[in-house]
């Protein structure tokens, strides 16, 4: 799927905007800082996932002079069929979601139709802590393993119940009421994650080989959140007394991680800031490539200020990877001339100034 058009009203500082987009090329958004470039990316992200990558308070996304915002688009399918989709949010109320004229109760179906891969300054968090790496991994699992969401929801519901029982010093019998479902959902999550990362690692290795000139390869290891040589039931049994003392469950898929290393050293400690950005970009683009390979579904790439911290050669390599994806890409830049000489595919430029969007020429 790709966005054929994007129509916004009262989103952030964008009072209204109507954009006709390129579905399989670069939609370059340029302008001065504070003009609204990132808000356009945020709008596409919100349309897909029902949340912002900038803040958790949705009411802040409503223009100061309005009571609600709306985001509308038409998705162009592989057969060129146009599917109208939209989301509207009024201050203090839940979002209203529509797909092809039908109301939706959750954002899940729209997220499946409109997968987005985001690359921005927060993407460095991938190298900062396990919670961000779990989110990275689960993005791919969500789109490739249909049963994962239900298992994830079950596990999180049950572990909250188990942790509550542990904190309240309930008897072991009362704690173990939750054990069978906890084990079942944990194993389902683990199998889905392990399958996905096994498919993803070769693609990551290929892309990072193109982006980074390193003598030693980058190694990525999936860590499930408990000893892989011991079944989860035994792990829970052996950890029970300590879990009871701590008041929470120590081991499980909620502790899963991806170990990213070079010569047995953390990649974050080994690489320069620019190399870290190449690593993160490569890993995110690899997710999109895997989705296309296995599901024939190209994602939409949202890239905020890609040129920062990269030299011209590194920038050229990343753009080359994106061109290979034949996907729809939204990129922000302060000056459009930054991209001269790099874009060998279809490109459309939009200029944003004081919340107003217009088509511009190169």
Least confident of 137-141, 339-343, 345-349: 339-343
- Output the CA angle 160-141-124, nearest 5 degrees: 85
Predicted confidence band at 203 (pLDDT cuts at 50, 70, 90)? very high
Q: In terms of residues, how long is the chain? A: 362
d(CA 96, CA 12): 18
Q: Which has the higher per-residue pLDDT, 116 or 325?
A: 116
Residue with tokens 């620019």: 274
Question: CB neighbours (10 Å) of residue 122?
Answer: 13
Mean pLDDT taken over the chain: 89
d(CA 11, CA 324): 32
What pLDDT does 342 receive? Answer: 55
Task: Report the pLDDT averaged over residues 133-162.
Answer: 93
d(CA 61, CA 39): 9
What pLDDT does 113 receive? Answer: 87
- In percent, the amount of the chain with pLDDT more than 90 equals 51
Query: What does pTM read for this prediction?
Result: 0.91
Give bridge partners of residue 357 from the DSSP assignment: 352
d(CA 74, CA 6): 7
d(CA 245, CA 166): 8
Q: Are 351 and 40 a contacting pair, CB within 8 Å?
A: no
Using one digit for the tens of pLDDT, what is the confidence trace for 164-198? 999 999 999 999 999 999 999 999 999 999 999 99
What pLDDT does 340 receive? Answer: 64
Predicted confidence band at 362 (pLDDT cuts at 50, 70, 90)? low
At residue 30, does pLDDT exceed 90? no
What pLDDT does 308 receive? Answer: 78
Using one digit for the tens of pLDDT, what is the confidence trace for 78-127? 777 888 999 999 888 888 999 988 888 888 888 888 999 999 888 888 99
At residue 337, does pLDDT exceed 70? no
Cα distance between the two ends of the chain: 27
What pLDDT does 344 receive? Answer: 60
CA distances (Å), 230 to each of 46, 179, 226, 236, in order? 41, 16, 8, 10
Tokens of 301: 């790439």
DSSP string, 38-95: HHHHHHHHHHHHSS-SS-S-GGGGB-TT-SEEEEEEEEE-TT--EEEEEEEEETTS--
């Amino acid at each position: 799927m790709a966005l054929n058009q994007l129509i916004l009203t009262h989103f952030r500082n964008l009072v209204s905007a109507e954009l006709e987009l390129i579905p399989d090329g670069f939609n370059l958004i340029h302008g001065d800082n504070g003009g609204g470039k990132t808000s356009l990316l945020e709008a596409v992200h919100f349309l897909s996932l029902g949340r912002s990558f900038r803040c958790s308070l949705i009411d802040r996304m409503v223009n100061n002079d309005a009571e609600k915002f709306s985001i509308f688009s038409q998705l162009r399918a592989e057969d060129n069929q146009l599917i109208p989709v939209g989301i509207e949010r009024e201050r203090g109320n839940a979002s209203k979601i529509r797909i092809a004229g039908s109301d939706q109760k959750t954002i899940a179906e729209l997220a499946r139709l409109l997968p987005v891969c985001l690359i921005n300054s927060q993407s460095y968090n991938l190298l900062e802590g396990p919670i961000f790496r779990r989110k990275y991994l689960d993005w791919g699992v969500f789109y490739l393993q249909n049963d994962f969401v239900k298992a994830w929801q079950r596990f999180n519901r049950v572990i909250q119940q188990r942790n509550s029982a542990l904190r309240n010093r309930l008897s072991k019998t009362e704690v173990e009421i939750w054990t069978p479902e906890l084990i079942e959902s944990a194993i389902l999550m683990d199998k889905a994650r392990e399958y996905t990362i096994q498919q993803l690692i070769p693609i990551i290795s290929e892309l990072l080989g193109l982006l980074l000139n390193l003598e030693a390869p980058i190694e990525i290891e999936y860590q499930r959140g408990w000893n892989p040589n011991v079944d989860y039931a035994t792990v829970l049994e052996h950890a029970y007394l300590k879990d009871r003392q701590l008041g929470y469950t120590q081991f499980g898929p909620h502790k899963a991680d991806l170990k990213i290393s070079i010569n047995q050293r953390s990649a974050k400690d080994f690489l320069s800031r620019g190399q870290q950005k190449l690593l993160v970009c490569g890993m995110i683009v690899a997710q999109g490539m895997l989705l296309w390979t296995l599901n024939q579904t190209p994602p939409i790439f949202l890239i905020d200020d890609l040129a920062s911290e990269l030299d011209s050669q590194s920038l050229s390599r990343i753009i080359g990877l994106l061109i290979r994806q034949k996907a729809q890409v939204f990129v922000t830049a302060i000056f459009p001339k930054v991209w001269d000489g790099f874009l060998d595919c279809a490109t459309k430029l939009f200029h944003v100034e004081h919340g107003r969007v217009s088509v511009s020429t190169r």
